[in-house]
Amino acid sequence: MMQQFLRSPFSTLITLSTGLVVLLGYFLDLEPLNELRVRFLQWAVILAAVALLLGVFNLLKVHWSRLREGTTKAIYSLTFFSGFLLAVVIGGVLGIQHSVTRMVVDYVIIPIEASLFVIILVALIYGLTRLLQNRLSGFSLVFLLTVLFSLLGSVPLLGVEIPLLHGGDSALAFVTRILGTGGVRGLLIGVALGSVVTGIRVLFGLDRPYGE
């Protein structure tokens, strides 16, 4: 840690000082500390927006290079540029409340999201089959029954609604409301703990994503 600090003292000092100010601002009720914490968070939001713009420009640069080189993936880059320009024109000129914008959302974005959901579903089924092949246990059987139960209850089979699977008072609604919510909370707790551990490692200089 000392060697890392000596290699980049300024970036490490800035990270440690801002991180400590923000962390202490959540625990100590001091007006100057809270104001400084809010100011640092506002600067972080601005930096995140700038980083997003830089990422967009870098993506445009990569696809422009592919178009100039005429590689086999140039058609994908051309499709990307067409969609990007169309989104900028529709969202920036017409606005998000325009009928054309809503039409693009309904007939382009939502079908793409549905196709991505299908891809996730296929990956989930594939992972389930591998799980059953390699490790057959009670938890894997519970996982299998939950997936099958959710698939059967999500869409009516041949347009016929099954009483125990469909409807607000069905068993699927109970599973989604109780077990599904518990699983989502468990995932959020895991993400929160991982974020806290990562923040502590960055705060003490163990991980330095801001530079070598």
Averaged confidence pLDDT in the chain: 77
Phi, psi of 207 (to 5 degrees): -115, 135
Tens digit of each residue's pLDDT (9 = 90 or more) over 68-109: 877 777 788 888 888 888 888 887 777 777 787 888 778 888
For residue 50, the model assigns a pLDDT of 93
For residue 121, the model assigns a pLDDT of 76
Lowest-confidence segment of 30-39, 54-63, 133-142 by average pLDDT:
133-142
Q: pLDDT class for 137, splitting at 50, 70, 90?
A: confident
For residue 5, the model assigns a pLDDT of 47
Structural domain boundaries in the chain: 1-94
Which one, of 6, 8, 22, 7, lies nearest residue 203 by Cα?
A: 22
Tens digit of each residue's pLDDT (9 = 90 or more) over 168-211: 566 666 776 776 677 778 888 988 888 878 877 777 666 666 55
Q: Which amino acid is at 170?
A: S
Give the whole-angstrom CA distance, residue 15 versus residue 134.
45
pTM beyond cutoff 0.85: no
Contacts of residue 1, defined as CB under 8 A and 6 or more positions apart, other chains included, come to 204, 205, 206
Higher pLDDT, 55 or 30: 55
Tens digit of each residue's pLDDT (9 = 90 or more) over 49-62: 999 999 989 988 88
- Token pair of 203, please? 């705060």
pLDDT above 70 for 25: yes
Higher pLDDT, 161 or 131: 131
Contact 24, 33 (CB under 8 A): yes
Lowest-confidence segment of 6-20, 26-40, 41-55, 95-109 by average pLDDT:
6-20
For residue 152, the model assigns a pLDDT of 67
For residue 6, the model assigns a pLDDT of 45
Q: Which amino acid is at 69?
A: E
For residue 46, the model assigns a pLDDT of 94
